Chains A and B, each alone.
Chain A
């Protein structure tokens, strides 16, 4: 059974940093691209960042470009999101999601999602 478990969320002051992790199991992690998607409570979904199976292809939403860094450690079956210079508008649930493909874009869909970790940016 595929499992994606996010951790690292919490309350952080504006301008500070936070690192999210996503522990993957139940599949061959280094075969698949991975993504971070966020959702402000009660609002819609926003794709944040994606990384290919070998970290050769990486991209970010404009809203986080230059502040967030996605990475993965295939030996540890883990995905990360380093978030710097956090802003109040970064407050959201952050989901990690598994791509059906190893290399994207393009791709077909995200087939598994974690349950999310809440990041709250407030003084």
Chain B
């Protein structure tokens, strides 16, 4: 099975900060990686797919990069509505594993 290691697991930041979250795969997954945002009590919301493609309607301050085993999600200028938990997911092969999550909280 492919393991995804997400870091950091917790991040404290201020509005306007640039934030970067890393996701490392235990083996190559090409660009079959998606990023989701989840707020308490809600289902996950797709942000980025194919490692770097912004989902329609998602603000351009979100961006993704990487391929193979190293991926990053960047929020260029953190906004109040961005405080949430972020997950990466590999979709290259079953089982479709998720990273452990990164909780972004207000500093």
Contact of B91 among A45, A46, A62, A109 (CB under 8 A): A109
Let me know if B100 is at the binding interface, CB within 8 A: yes
Interface size class of B (residues with CB under 8 A): 20 to 34
Query: B100 contacts which chain A residues (CB < 8 A)?
Result: 44
Query: B89 contacts which chain A residues (CB < 8 A)?
Result: 45, 47, 109-110
Q: Is the CB of B34 within 8 A of A110?
A: yes
Within 8 A of A (CB), among B1-39: 1, 30, 32, 34, 36, 38
Let me know if B83 is at the binding interface, CB within 8 A: no
Within 8 A of B (CB), among A11-66: 35, 44-47, 50, 59-62
Within 8 A of B (CB), among A74-106: 95, 100, 104-106
Nearest chain A residue, comparing its CB with the CB of B38: A45
Contact A108-B43, Cβ < 8 Å, known A35-B96, A45-B98, A62-B1: no
Q: Is the CB of B98 within 8 A of A113?
A: no
Query: A115 contacts which chain B residues (CB < 8 A)?
Result: 42-43
The distance in angstroms between the C-alpha atoms of A105 and B46, with both chains bound, is 18
Let me know if A114 is at the binding interface, CB within 8 A: yes
Contact of B43 among A104, A106, A109, A114 (CB under 8 A): A114
Query: A62 contacts which chain B residues (CB < 8 A)?
Result: 1, 95
Let me know if A111 is at the binding interface, CB within 8 A: yes
Nearest chain A residue, comparing its CB with the CB of B96: A47
Contact of A47 among B38, B55, B98 (CB under 8 A): B98
Nearest chain B residue, comparing its CB with the CB of A116: B43
Q: Is the CB of B96 within 8 A of A50?
A: yes
Let me know if B87 is at the binding interface, CB within 8 A: yes
Q: Is the CB of B46 within 8 A of A109?
A: yes
Q: Which of B55, B87, B94 has the most CB of A within 10 A?
A: B94
Let me know if B50 is at the binding interface, CB within 8 A: yes
Q: Is the CB of B87 within 8 A of A44?
A: yes
Residues of A within 8 A of B (CB): 35, 44-47, 50, 59-62, 95, 100, 104-111, 113-116
